[in-house]
Amino acid sequence: MILYDEAVVVWIFVGAALIFAANYLNILEAAGRIGAMKQRRS
């Protein structure tokens, strides 16, 4: 990175993608969209 003079490693982006995906799933679950899908299937 420019500010700290560190190398950008691919694992940084993998971790960020994992965090964003978990947050997105949490938002969908809070909105009731995931729970509704589970009830329709069973």
Please give the angle made by the CA atoms of 42, 32 and 29, to the nearest 5 degrees: 95
Please give the angle made by the CA atoms of 26, 42 and 31, to the nearest 5 degrees: 25
> Given this model, what pLDDT does residue 36 score?
62
> Given this model, what pLDDT does residue 1 score?
58
> Given this model, what pLDDT does residue 21 score?
96
Residues of the chain with pLDDT under 50: none
